[in-house]
Amino acid sequence: MGKVYVLDHPLIQHKLTYIRKNETGTKDFRQLVDEVAALMAFEITRDLPLEQVEIDTPVVSNAKAQVLTGKKIGLVPILRAGLGMVDGIIKLIPAAKVGHVGLYRDPETLQPVEYYVKLPSDIEERELIVIDPMLATGGSANEAIESLKKRGARQIRLMCLVAAPEGVEAVQEAHPDVDIYLAAMDERLNEKGYIEPGLGDAGDRLFGTK
């Protein structure tokens, strides 16, 4: 079963509180999501492998130093709301390629509807991070992960700001090979499929559409 990591760094938790607040407007919401995504990226890349190299500094020759090695990273935001987390992560991993999976959740059935997929050609070679602020029923994340696997992806992690326990369980059941990284595990889903306490509709708050 995939592991679940709740990233409890104080800066992440402090900023998340302001993201949640009803009175936080679009500009600040966007800025805070960007900052939290960067902080989360810092935490989830802790286990990236390093290799030793030799470099010349202005002072000595052949100094031992370390550089990243292993698989390259690919980011896959789930449209729309996942877009709000891309720039923050790219600041730390500027060479990451970015694929897009477009999904919306039907408001009646809560089922995900796929409308767009565009991925880097070498996804099977990359360590992919699927990003979406919200993991509610888990339907969208599962559909996105399925879509990536169908196209050859082999190593996938999921990064969300806020999750409901139902969504985490659904992903763990459907994709036991996928580890999940969260800023918070919330209490429940309400009858409309919204996370409580949550932060509302992440896409609408990011893009000012409601």
Ligand X SMILES: O=c1cc[nH]c(=O)[nH]1
133 annotated binding-site participant:
yes
The reply to whether 166 sits near ligand X by the rule CB under 6 A is no
- Quick note: the x/- pattern for ligand PRP over 124-143, rule CB under 6 A, is --------xxxxxxxxxx--
> CA quadruple 22, 130, 4, 35: dihedral positive or negative?
negative
- Of 129, 186, 184, the closest CA to residue 153 belongs to 129
Give, as ranges, the residues between 66 and 105 that touch ligand PRP (CB under 6 A): 78-81, 103-105
110 binds, among ligand PRP, ligand X, Mg ion, none (CB under 5 to 8 A by kind): ligand PRP
80 annotated binding-site participant:
yes
- Quick note: the x/- pattern for ligand X over 81-120, rule CB under 6 A, is x---------------------------------------
Q: Is 28 a catalytic residue?
A: no
> CA quadruple 169, 17, 47, 159: dihedral positive or negative?
positive
Catalytic residue among 109, 177, 188, 209: 109
CA distance 48 to 129: 13
- Of 210, 132, 209, the closest CA to residue 178 belongs to 132
> Contacts by 117-123 with C-beta closer than 8 Å and gap 24+?
117/147, 117/151, 119/74, 119/76, 119/148, 119/151, 120/74, 122/97, 123/74, 123/99, 123/148, 123/151, 123/152, 123/153
CA distance 75 to 89: 9
Candidates 201, 205, 209, 210; binder of Mg ion (CB under 5 A) is 201
Strands 188-189 and 195-196: antiparallel
What is the C-alpha R_g of the chain?
Answer: 18
78 binds, among ligand PRP, Mg ion, ligand X, none (CB under 5 to 8 A by kind): ligand PRP
Q: Is 105 a catalytic residue?
A: yes
Catalytic residue among 20, 105, 157, 205: 105
Q: Is 177 a catalytic residue?
A: no
- Footprint of ligand PRP (CB under 6 A): 78-81, 103-105, 110, 112, 132-141, 167, 193, 201-203
Please give the annotated binding residues for 5-phospho-alpha-D-ribose 1-diphosphate, written as ranges.
Answer: 80, 105, 132-140, 201
Tell me which residues are annotated as active site: 105, 109, 201, 204
